[in-house]
Amino acid sequence: MTSPGTSSASSPVPTALRRLDDGRIEITWSDDRRRVISPRELRDACPCANCREKRDATTTVPLLQVLSPEETRPLAVTGMKPIGQYAYSIGFSDGHDTGIYLFDYLRDLGRDA
């Protein structure tokens, strides 16, 4: 597949964001690829230091899981803010908004639409 007019050196960037009726996020990329990601997938993949630590901890020590009232509610993406030309800061309905999702990282989440 060739894409005339675009430099192969630059990574694809999101050209459109849409929240689907079921709350999932659809991202259209500059190479015409479309990906759909659920809020839960995004949240579980949060790349911030806190979440990474938590994930590492739960893989080594199996802890009893606790559901907070926030966690029993359907999780929603409450905001996506571009950070420069390389990442999105994503906020969630559980109040967490410190994750910075690099485009390269975001692109591998979810599934093709």
76: contact with Zn ion by CB under 5 A: no
Residues of this chain, 39-68, that bind Zn ion according to CB under 5 A: 46, 48, 51
**Smallest distance from the beta carbon of 53 to Zn ion, in angstroms?**
9
Which of 25, 37, 90, 99 is close enough to bind Zn ion by CB under 5 A? 99
**Smallest distance from the beta carbon of 52 to Zn ion, in angstroms?**
8
In sequence order, what E strands does 3-95 have? 14-19, 25-29, 34-37, 77-83, 87-92
**Smallest distance from the beta carbon of 68 to Zn ion, in angstroms?**
15
Other CB atoms closer than 10 Å to residue 71's CB: what's the count? 11
Could you tell me the CA-to-CA distances from 75 to 24, 25, 26, 94 in Å, in that order? Answer: 10, 12, 16, 7
Tokens representing 53 are 């630590």
Query: What residues line the site for Zn ion (CB under 5 A)?
Result: 46, 48, 51, 99
